[in-house]
């Protein structure tokens, strides 16, 4: 085991070499082994320097503070804390530390410079505050002046929004009793004024925990929920956004480490969080809340209650919401507005409830927690199902229907309750249209599981066919049709497993397309037609017919852009089927033969699912405008846009950018921009698919055009996420190619790639057995070495990085040789000390250089002469070694490049090598040589 002193020295060496992560690791290990206070203080001080370099200023400040606890006069620790505090914007504290440094060492220029800079920054901030204060007072005066014109007051409210987005303006609004004024504005009858008030509050709360807590307590959740629950959908959405910002400010504040004076003034925000959640749950059954307001409340619960990562063991918030509000959520889930009075709903409300219930159930950790959830749902359903009135029974069936679309295990258990399925089948034959609709929908959702689908196929198909053929109501007919579609697709993509007779699925699909194109039907009925196609498009014949029907495609895309968010998953599923972007496991040929021999079922692929058919379908979808529909779907702010739905969108995008010639179309219609959020808000598979689509675009398109402005920096992290063993070699390869393109654009992008810890991953792939991946990783490194930080890794001793490049420059793979020799050429130009170490890497170094110089490939010859020139310029002894070998003769021939020698970079560089040899006196100049 290493001792702390040795680890500290190792860290110091790595720090000097520029390997900050390595140094950080060594100091951390030393801290775990060290007992001495003084030694630990030095280690904390050194680690603080690493964090400063890595731009992790919070940790830099924390480590410097720990060092100062042992020795308050440690001037280095004081200086580092001052630098960290400056970057964190805590200028007053930084100034105090810098002042102390200057007192301890008055002649130290670095301390004096920092003190001057901080003084100037504090003065500037003070001037900004004074200037902002006057503007805030002016706005306030106009807003409270009842005699002022309405247009002036409206303009003042808008200016207040702009001011609140600046930190100085936000602080001044808050300190000048601005929250009380905003409270008055929220009560205004003018929609624009209310919107301005809400947007101002967003500015005040953004990333500021203490202000958010004060605003929640001062305004009260009742008023904010009342604004969100109002009828105006624009105001409701703005209030929803404000509450989202408040949640983020409070939860981020809880997770952030807070030290020093701040710790004393910031109370625990969990009380405010619980208050907000309690009021949102209270909105569920309230009849005074509008449908859109209720949907917004559900959306907030979906985003804020479940854990963001299952690695976090604390699911207490979910347990609290289940305990306090599950029955309130089920009140919304079971509401049937046409039958009994209840809370106002939108077309999206039931689907939003399904998503919320699913999220809550998935966040449970133990069988006991899941059993409690099941029990509460069963009790609610049983309570209503056992009552005598039809309204109660319909509420119970509607609740089961919502559960089947969400936590399906819970839905299945409630559907299996005594008498439930019989009641559903019975109500399907009811003469009351509303009763029929509720029952048919429950039957359709129940058909999701294979065992139940077979039961319904045996018992319910005749009933559904009868409803489809004989019902006089379109709402019932379309739902019955979807039930038949769902049962007819039970074989999935397996061509040999069809439930219905040949041609039946095509007839069903034709009827679905007819419903879809019928604009006279309500949007909900047309949405059900897409549900049907989502099941039927497992059949390749149905896919082919559908993509040929331009009217049906346009109708589906228009619905995807509409207000009805419940259609999103059905559209996504249909497009995944049409593009064949689902996962298909190719069976092992030997296992297939064994299965045939044993007379077991063997899945068969439809002939029209062959790649040539899929490619044509993709072309038809692009012509019909699929990209704009996908972009619109990806932007939706709704619980209906689930992670699974996002995965569907990512899968389709990946299929659309498969062909290089189609990528420009996808980018031009906004596909590149739409893919970026899909990388962070999807299933794990969806994130990977979106990242791979981004990689394909970045490889062949100009990244600065595909991702303009700051968006290009958002592409880096998704690409780096593909550099893992969990991803395929193709995904690794495409990510490396894309990063190579980005690394060649600017130093800022290279720094972003380095900050995302991509360099060690790229180095790892330089050892990959697959020659294309190995070459792509080396090409990426070739562009990354333009950064001084990466160059220092090669300058650092005790590693084989340089040796690997020299050896790769002698490999047979031309692409790998070009990349390695190019990297060597740049490194030896920027870091001449590496030239001296090349002969130490391998005894074959000279042969490798000669092979480059003699190569038939122009690019390799050019790289060879550049490396030769760099070595000769670095040290005379290296020039002597080269001139004593065959290199002199080769360079002499290359320098005489014929009539075009002056234009030929190889000839020019070779001539520079010979000139350097003459300058050293190693080679004597002959008459006429200088003219060559």
Mean pLDDT of 675-690: 89
> Residue 852: pLDDT band by 50, 70, 90 thresholds?
very high
Distance CA 683, CA 647 (A): 6
Q: Which run of H or of E encompasses 197?
A: helix 191-205
More reliable by pLDDT, 880 or 466: 880
Nearest CA to 385 out of 376, 377, 394 is that of 394
What band does 903 get if pLDDT is binned at 50, 70 and 90?
low
Per-residue confidence (pLDDT) for residue 868, from 0 to 100: 93
Rg of the Cα atoms in the chain:
34
Longest CA–CA separation in the chain, Å = 117
At residue 734, does pLDDT exceed 90?
Answer: yes
Mean pLDDT lowest for which of 314-318, 329-333, 692-696, 914-918?
A: 314-318
- What local confidence, expressed as pLDDT, does residue 898 receive? 55
* pLDDT classification of 603: cutoffs 50, 70, 90: low
pLDDT at 184 over 90: no
pLDDT at 767: 92
pLDDT digits (tens, 9 = 90+) for 818-835: 999 999 999 999 999 999
pLDDT tens figures, 124-167: 776 665 555 566 666 666 666 667 677 777 777 777 777 788 77
Q: How far apart are CA 406 and CA 328, in angstroms?
A: 16
At 71, the pLDDT band (50, 70, 90 cuts) reads confident
CA–CA distance, 193 with 687 (Å, rounded to integer): 40
Give the model confidence (pLDDT) of 382-400 as tens digits.
Answer: 999 888 888 888 899 999 9
State the average pLDDT over residues 908-930: 79
Region of residue 296 (left: phi > 0; alpha: psi -120 to 50; beta: else):
alpha
DSSP 660: G
What value does the mean pLDDT take over residues 773-795? 93
Specify the DSSP class assigned to residue 907: H
pLDDT tier at 622, thresholds 50, 70, 90? very high
How far is residue 663 from each of residues 568, 625, 659, 694, 702, measured CA to CA in Å? Answer: 24, 14, 7, 10, 11
Range among 79-93, 450-464, 819-833 with highest mean pLDDT value: 819-833
Q: How confident is the model at residue 224 (pLDDT cuts 50, 70, 90)?
A: confident
Q: How confident is the model at residue 593 (pLDDT cuts 50, 70, 90)?
A: low
Full DSSP string of 726-747: TS-HHHHHHHHHHHHHHHTT-H
d(CA 205, CA 185): 17
Stretch 645-670: mean pLDDT: 92
User: Would you tell me how many other CB atoms lie within 10 Å of the CB of residue 72?
Assistant: 10
Rounded to the nearest 5°, which phi and psi values hold at 581? Answer: -95, 15
Say if residue 317's pLDDT is above 50. yes
DSSP state at residue 586: P
pLDDT at 128: 60
Q: pLDDT class for 718, splitting at 50, 70, 90?
A: very high
pLDDT above 90 for 722: yes
Whether residue 900 has pLDDT greater than 60: no
- For the chain, the average pLDDT equals 83
**What's the helix, strand, coil split of the chain in %, to 5?**
75, 0, 25
Q: Give me the pLDDT at residue 864, please.
A: 94
pLDDT over 50 at 260, yes or no: no
Q: Is residue 192's pLDDT more than 50?
A: yes
Give me the DSSP letters along 775-788: HHHHHHHHHHTTSH
CA atoms within 13 A on the CB side of 210: 11
Listed range (245-254, 341-350, 550-559, 666-675) with the worst mean pLDDT: 245-254
Q: Say what the pLDDT of residue 133 is.
A: 59
> b or e along 149-181 (b: 16 or more beta carbons within 10 Å of the residue's beta carbon)?
eeeebbebbbbbbebbeebbbbbbbbeeebbeb
Label each residue of 791-832 as H, E or C. Answer: HHHHHCCCCCHHHHHHHHCCCCCHHHHHHHHHHHHHHHHHCC
- Model confidence pLDDT, tens digit, residues 487-505: 665 544 443 444 455 567 7
The tally of CA atoms less than 13 A away on the side-chain side of residue 514 is 10
Query: Residue 265's pLDDT is what?
Result: 39
């Amino acid at each position: 085991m290493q001792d702390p002193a040795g680890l500290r020295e190792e860290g110091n060496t790595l720090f000097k070499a520029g390997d900050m992560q390595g140094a950080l690791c060594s100091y951390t290990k030393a801290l775990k082994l060290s007992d001495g206070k003084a030694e630990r203080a030095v280690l904390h001080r050194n680690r603080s320097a690493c964090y400063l370099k890595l731009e992790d200023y919070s940790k830099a400040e924390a480590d410097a503070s720990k060092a100062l606890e042992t020795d308050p006069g440690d001037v280095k620790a004081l200086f580092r804390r001052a630098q960290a505090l400056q970057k964190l914007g805590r200028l007053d504290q930084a100034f105090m530390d810098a002042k102390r440094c200057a007192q301890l060492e008055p002649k130290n220029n670095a301390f004096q410079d920092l003190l001057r800079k901080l003084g100037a920054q504090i003065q500037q901030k003070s001037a900004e505050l004074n200037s902002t204060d006057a503007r805030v007072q002016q706005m306030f005066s106009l807003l409270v002046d009842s005699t002022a014109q309405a247009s002036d007051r409206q303009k003042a409210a808008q200016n207040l929004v702009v001011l609140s987005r600046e930190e100085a303006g936000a602080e001044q609004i808050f300190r000048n009793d601005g929250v009380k004024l905003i409270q008055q504005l929220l009560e205004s009858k003018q929609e624009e004024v209310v919107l301005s008030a809400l947007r101002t509050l967003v500015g005040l709360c953004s990333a500021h925990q203490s202000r958010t807590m004060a605003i929640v307590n001062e305004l009260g959740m009742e008023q904010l929920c009342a604004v969100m629950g109002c009828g105006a959908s624009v105001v409701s959405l703005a209030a929803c956004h404000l509450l989202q910002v408040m949640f983020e400010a409070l939860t981020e504040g809880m997770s952030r480490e807070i030290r020093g004076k701040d710790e004393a003034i910031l109370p625990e925000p969990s009380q405010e969080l619980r208050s907000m959640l309690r009021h949102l749950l209270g909105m569920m059954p309230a009849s005074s809340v509008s449908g859109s307001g209720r949907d917004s409340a559900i959306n907030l619960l979906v985003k804020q209650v479940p854990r963001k990562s299952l690695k976090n063991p604390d699911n207490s918030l979910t347990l609290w919401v289940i305990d306090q509000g599950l029955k309130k959520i089920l009140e919304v889930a079971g509401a049937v507005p046409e039958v009994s009075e209840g809370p106002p709903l939108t077309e999206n409300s039931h689907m939003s409830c399904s998503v919320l219930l699913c999220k809550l159930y998935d966040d449970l950790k133990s069988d006991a927690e899941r059993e409690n959830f099941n029990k509460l749902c069963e009790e609610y359903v049983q309570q209503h199902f056992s009552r005598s009135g039809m309204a109660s029974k319909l509420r119970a069936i509607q609740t089961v229907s919502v559960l089947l679309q969400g936590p399906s295990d819970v839905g299945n258990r409630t559907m299996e309750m005594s008498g439930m399925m019989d009641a559903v089948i019975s109500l399907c034959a009811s003469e009351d249209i509303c009763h029929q609709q509720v029952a048919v929908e429950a039957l359709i959702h129940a058909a999701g599981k294979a065992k139940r689908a077979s039961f319904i196929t045996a018992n319910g198909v005749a009933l559904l066919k009868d409803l489809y053929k004989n019902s006089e109501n379109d709402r019932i007919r379309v739902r019955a049709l979807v039930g038949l579609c769902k049962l007819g697709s039970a074989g999935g993509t397996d061509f040999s497993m069809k439930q219905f007779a040949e041609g039946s699925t095509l007839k069903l699909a034709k009827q679905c397309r007819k419903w879809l194109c019928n604009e006279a039907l309500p949007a909900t009925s047309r949405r059900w037609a897409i549900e049907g196609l989502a099941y039927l498009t497992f059949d390749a014949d149905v896919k082919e017919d559908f993509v040929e029907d331009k009217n049906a495609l346009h109708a589906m895309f228009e619905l995807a852009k509409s207000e009805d968010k419940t259609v999103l998953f059905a559209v996504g599923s249909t497009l995944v089927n049409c593009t064949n972007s689902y996962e298909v496991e190719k069976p092992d040929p030997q296992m297939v033969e064994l299965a045939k021999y044993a007379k077991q079922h063997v899945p068969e692929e439809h002939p029209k699912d062959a790649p040539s058919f899929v490619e044509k379908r993709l072309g038809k979808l692009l012509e019909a405008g699929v990209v704009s529909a996908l972009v619109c779907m990806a932007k939706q702010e709704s619980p209906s846009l689930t992670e699974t739905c996002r995965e569907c969108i990512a899968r389709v995008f990946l299929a659309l950018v498969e062909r290089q010639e189609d990528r420009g179309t996808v980018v031009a219609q906004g596909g590149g921009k739409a893919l970026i959020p899909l990388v962070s808000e999807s299933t794990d598979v969806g994130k990977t698919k979106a990242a791979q689509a981004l990689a394909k675009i970045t490889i062949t398109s100009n990244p600065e055009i595909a991702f303009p402005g700051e968006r290009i920096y958002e592409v880096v992290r998704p690409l780096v996420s593909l550099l893992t063993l969990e991803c395929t070699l193709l995904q690794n390869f495409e990510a490396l190619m894309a990063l190579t393109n980005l690394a060649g654009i600017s130093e800022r992008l290279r720094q972003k790639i380095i900050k995302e810890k991509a360099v060690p991953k790229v180095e790892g792939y330089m050892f990959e057995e697959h020659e294309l991946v190995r070459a792509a990783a080396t090409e990426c490194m070739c562009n990354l070495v333009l950064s001084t930080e990466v160059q220092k890794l090669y300058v650092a001793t005790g590693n084989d990085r340089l040796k690997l490049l020299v050896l790769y420059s002698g490999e047979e793979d031309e692409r790998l040789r070009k990349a390695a020799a190019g990297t060597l050429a740049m490194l030896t130009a920027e870091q001449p000390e590496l030239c001296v170490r090349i002969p130490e890497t391998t005894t074959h170094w000279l042969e490798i250089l000669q092979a480059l110089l003699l190569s038939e490939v122009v690019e390799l010859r050019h790289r060879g002469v550049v490396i030769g020139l760099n070595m000769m310029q670095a040290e005379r002894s290296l020039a002597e070694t080269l001139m004593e070998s065959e290199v002199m003769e080769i360079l002499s021939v290359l320098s005489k490049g014929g009539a075009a020698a002056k234009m030929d970079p190889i000839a020019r560089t070779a001539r520079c090598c010979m000139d350097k040899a003459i300058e050293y006196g190693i080679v004597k100049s002959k008459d006429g040589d200088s003219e060559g």
